[in-house]
Amino acid sequence: MEQPDQQRTATAYHEAGHAVMAAIVGRPIQKVSIAPGKLQTGGGRLGVCQIQKGRIKSSKDWLEDEVMILFSGMVAEAHFTGKYCPAGAGQDLQGIARLIRTRPGSERQLEKVQRRMLDKTEHLLSDESNAQAIRWIAEELLAKTTISGRAVKHFLQQAEGRSR
């Protein structure tokens, strides 16, 4: 069984992953938090990355962006824990399945699309500067519980500047 501190740290990495990917694809972030709370559906959640409506930059494929944002929490958490935790990403995975089903194609093609998007998410988040930004954001979340979208942007810019 996971210890509360391990779960809190995994949640920090999970939410940091969502935040970094949202920033990469040009979505503005309101705030990121690892404070437990309730969802509209009545279930509990361990953290949240609140993304504002609209875009900072245009997108070639909005659906792909949304799927990668959803995958990125599980991917970033796996980079920290060493394994995927589908149970912790259950709502994200349900959202991915709903989004991918909106694309025309057979079930087999949809699985390929999902795999390709997971691979792309892995690739983007394994980039040195993105991985560093995730670590810094997770550390800040562990220290402060909630951080602003401005702080996320700052950490991402710092990490990008450091890798040049």
Question: In this structure, what CATH number is given to the domain that contains residue 153?
Answer: 1.20.58.760
pLDDT in tens, 5-40: 888 999 999 999 999 999 999 999 999 999 876 544
DSSP string covering 73-86: HHHHHHHHHSS--T
Q: How many other CB atoms sit within 10 Å of the CB of residue 139?
A: 15
Strand-pairing partners, residue 146, are 33
Task: Find the domain containing 91 and state its range.
Answer: 4-162
Residue range 84-137, pLDDT digits in tens: 988 888 899 999 988 888 877 777 778 888 999 999 999 999 999 999 999 999
30, two tokens: 């309101």
Instruction: Provide the number of structural domains found in the chain.
Output: 1
For residues 53-81, average pLDDT: 87
Q: How many CA within 13 A on the CB side of residue 99?
A: 20
Predicted TM-score (pTM) of the model is: 0.88
Instruction: Check: CB of residue 74 under 8 Å from CB of residue 87.
Output: no
